[in-house]
Amino acid sequence: MKKFLFLDCDSTLCAIEGVDELAAMRGAETEAKVIDLTNDAMDGRVPIEEVFGCRLSLISPTRQMCEQVAQKYIETLSPGVEDALQELSHHGWTPVIISGGFTPVIEPLATKVGIGEVHAVGLRFDEHGDYIGFDEEAPTARNGGKPQIIAQLKKDYPGCATVMVGDGVSDLETQPTVDLFIGYGGVVAREKVKEGARHFIHSFTELPKTVLEQLKCNH
């Protein structure tokens, strides 16, 4: 039986918000605007789709900027991630990133920690590496996108086991769709997620035990 370990990226697998880092490269004013929009979305005050294109237009990230932030993702990898993934993979769990972040920024981190599947938002660049748009069809550019991806995978792998780990409201939205939702507060503990999540951890060192204990009866 297939066992999926779904992981958020920003403020979960790593300690930064990629979009905020990209914004910072465009100066303090852009950064402040983008951070406000991100927090509004992550705390559930406004729908993700309302802020998504707006943030990207403000930032207009180049391919080179994405490469720099990709490196930062790797440098700020959350403690214990690699050990936790290794232990869970011994128990048959396949890690998959589901993120509202940008695919070209996330993929190098995924490769580094041995995650073969990434569901995120693609970006388009012109021949000079300048930003020309994002994949508007990407489910995670909207609220409800993460549960939608998980529901599709559950259809493709009937009877699969599913765990989701994340820090944000868009992660918490998956709780009714997965067998086990685990809120993550190792970078930022969001009140709404802490209140809503039936399980909550502050470190990846707690992850294997939480997954294996909670799901041992069912799977």
**The one among 3, 6, 7, 11 contacting Mg ion by CB under 5 A:** 11
- Return the range that interacts with Mg ion (CB under 5 A); candidates 6-14, 27-35, 44-52, 140-148: 6-14
Binding of Mg ion by 173 (CB under 5 A)? no
Closest CA to 130 of 63, 58, 69: 63
Between CA 24 and CA 28 the distance in angstroms is 6
CA angle 54, 58, 60 (to 5 degrees): 110
Binding of Mg ion by 143 (CB under 5 A)? no
N-term to C-term CA, the chain: 9
**The one among 18, 61, 168, 186 contacting Mg ion by CB under 5 A:** 168
Binding of Mg ion by 10 (CB under 5 A)? yes
- Return the range that interacts with Mg ion (CB under 5 A); candidates 90-98, 120-128, 161-169, 191-199: 161-169
Between CA 195 and CA 46 the distance in angstroms is 19
By CB under 5 A, how many residues form the interface with Mg ion? 6
Smaller CB separation from Mg ion, 11 or 174: 11
Query: Distance between alpha carbon 129 and the CA centroid of its chain, in Å?
Result: 24
Binding of Mg ion by 8 (CB under 5 A)? yes
Annotated catalytic residue 10 = yes
Closest CA to 169 of 186, 148, 198, 190: 190
Smaller CB separation from Mg ion, 41 or 62: 41
Between CA 18 and CA 1 the distance in angstroms is 34
Annotated catalytic residue 8 = yes
Binding of Mg ion by 167 (CB under 5 A)? yes
Smaller CB separation from Mg ion, 65 or 164: 164
**Enzyme catalytic residues:** 8, 10
